[in-house]
Amino acid sequence: MTPVFLGGSRAISKLNSVIREQLTNLMNHRCTILIGDANGADKAMQRFFADQQYENVVVFCMNDFRNNLGSWQTRVIRADRKTRGFSYFTIKDKEMSREAKCGLMLWDGLSKGTLRNIFELVRDHRKVLVYLAPEKKFYKLTSNEELADLLSRCDSAVIQNLTRELGPELYLDPKRPEIPFPLTSK
């Protein structure tokens, strides 16, 4: 049972037929779903799996749970209470990424956390299926070039701002500054 890291933007709270079809495919392949407990995409996908009575789900959280709609197995990731905000929840996402063989992300083209997860999966040579909400379409990413193609479909000012905010997790290739590249593997 392949472990798959599912995540996405908090702005995405409804699942259309294209997304539901991909989630059904994961169930048909008996994948182990690794998912967070946030509102938005996490909660919407949890609702889908709960409605389907799919049991092969593990919900990750930081210290305290927000959502576990299927009463599934849980993984509490402990962190220093002084760590807050984006850095705090990144700890949980890094653990899910580490345990997964691949990923499926629902991205609105704006979420810094979802973009960070996409970069990390690609950097670690894991396939990631990205639903780009503005296009209502999935893209399969297996390389930096495919990631660059996906990002070229987004607002360049937004992408530049997000990659700048992500800081040391990314760098820009000086020969092709329009293409953000993940750092080399750990």
Q: What's the whole-number average pLDDT of the chain?
A: 87
* Bridge partners (DSSP) listed for residue 73: 58
Q: Say yes or no to pLDDT of 181 above 80.
A: no
Q: 77: phi > 0 → left, psi -120 to 50 → alpha, else beta; which? A: beta
* Bridge partners (DSSP) listed for residue 169: none
Quote the CA–CA distance of 2 and 142 in Å, as a whole number: 17
pTM above 0.75, yes or no: yes
**Whether 97 contacts 5, CB under 8 Å:** yes
Residue among 38, 170, 35 nearest 105 (CA): 35
Q: Say yes or no to pLDDT of 161 above 90.
A: no
Query: What value does the mean pLDDT take over residues 116-141?
Result: 94
Q: Say yes or no to pLDDT of 177 above 70.
A: no
What domains sit in the chain, N to C, each tagged with a CATH number? 3-144 (3.40.50.450)
Q: How many CA atoms lie within 13 A of 19 on its CB side?
A: 26
Q: What is the DSSP string of 37-97?
A: --TTHHHHHHHHHHHTT---EEEEEESB-S--TT--EEEEEP--TT--HHHHHHHHHHHHH
